[in-house]
Amino acid sequence: MLAIRSRRLISLLTLFAFAVLAFTGLVMYITPPGRVAYWADWRFLGLTKQALNNIHVIVSMLFLVTAIWHICLNWKPVVNYMKNSARKISLKTPELSLALLITMGVTLGAFFEWPGVGGVLAAVDRVKAHWETEYGNPPYGHAELSSLEAFCRHMGFDVATAQKTLRANRIRFDGPRQTLVAIARANKIAPQRIFTLLKAAGTTQSQTATPKRPQVGLGRKTLTQVCAEENRPVAAALRKLAAAGITAQPEMTMKQIARLAGTDPHDIYAKLQ
């Protein structure tokens, strides 16, 4: 049986974890904003923005554990680095002072957006703006999570006509309650493509109701707040949701109601109209 040397193992784990973090960190530096990435189904080497984020978070935990373990295994050398010429621990050694100064400078520079560090952050904004220009923004936040029915109501499209348009373009879907992202994944296209098809086909707008834009920060608002901002009786809203098979309480946020119903806040909002 091969003997495993802990120092060698931890050193290699730390190295490999750092390599993965460096890769995901650099890629995430140039990724589109979330709303654009999810809408356009943006990928890098087959990895979605969410996949990159998941890898980065989990591997960062591995790196943290191995880094702490590595420091413990090499605690004596670390302590020696903080000793002065008299072999006593001192916070005034040149190396320790410089290390602290650089770390604090970079941290504060990022917080206050000082020149140099601020330039790096500005470059990120320029990259993000480029993606928005190339792919465009969704018509509203997390539109891809809306059901086809809710999306059509929100955009003023006739649901029946929209379904005919998708079938004519050989887009497979289970029904109007299926989300755009689920339809897109089933057909290996981006949610943005579905929207483009509906627009290009000149989908007839519904004449039965005028679509209303969901309020800003909809998911964080309680049902009571939403009703108050639209002069809508809370009791009437509860009855509409109950008729749709959705359980809700006035003090629950739209996000909480949507989570229990297995949908998104915009879909809940559409059901209130």
C-alpha to C-alpha distance for 96 and 107, rounded to whole angstroms = 17
- What is the residue-averaged pLDDT of the chain? 84
pLDDT value at residue 217? 66
Q: Highest mean pLDDT range out of 3-12, 115-124, 204-213?
A: 3-12
Over residues 169-188, mean pLDDT: 90
Banded model confidence at residue 206, pLDDT cuts 50, 70, 90: very low
pLDDT value at residue 136? 76
What does the DSSP assignment read for 13-44?
A: HHHHHHHHHHHHHHHHHHPPPHHHHHHHT-EE
Banded model confidence at residue 204, pLDDT cuts 50, 70, 90: low
pLDDT value at residue 13? 94
Banded model confidence at residue 1, pLDDT cuts 50, 70, 90: very low
Share of the chain above pLDDT 90, in %: 18
Helix (H, G, I), strand (E, B), or coil: what is residue 4?
A: coil
Banded model confidence at residue 187, pLDDT cuts 50, 70, 90: very high
Q: Give the containing element (helix H, strand E) for 48.
A: strand 47-48
* The pLDDT of residue 207 is above 70: no
* The pLDDT of residue 86 is above 80: no
Banded model confidence at residue 51, pLDDT cuts 50, 70, 90: very high
Q: Where are the domains of the chain?
A: 6-135, 147-200, 218-272
Burial of residue 61, with CB atoms counted within 10 A of its CB: 0-12 exposed, 13-18 middle, 19 or more buried: exposed
* The pLDDT of residue 93 is above 90: no
Q: Highest mean pLDDT range out of 117-126, 197-206, 263-272?
A: 263-272
Q: Which of 3-17, 87-101, 247-261 has the lowest mean pLDDT?
A: 87-101
Could you read off the pLDDT of 211-268 as tens digits, one per residue?
Answer: 455 555 677 788 888 888 888 899 999 999 998 888 899 888 888 888 888 888 888 8
- Give yes or no for a contact between 264 and 256, defined as CB atoms under 8 angstroms apart: no
pLDDT value at residue 2? 58
Q: In this structure, are strands 47-48 and 43-44 parallel, antiparallel, or unpaired? A: antiparallel
pLDDT value at residue 214? 57
Q: Pick the residue with more confidence: 202 or 73?
A: 73
Per-residue burial over 139-160, b if 16 or more Cβ lie within 10 Å, else e, is: eebbbbbbbbbbbbbbbebbbe
The answer to pTM > 0.75 is no
Could you read off the pLDDT of 124-172 as tens digits, one per residue?
Answer: 778 877 887 777 778 877 888 888 988 888 888 888 889 988 998 999 9
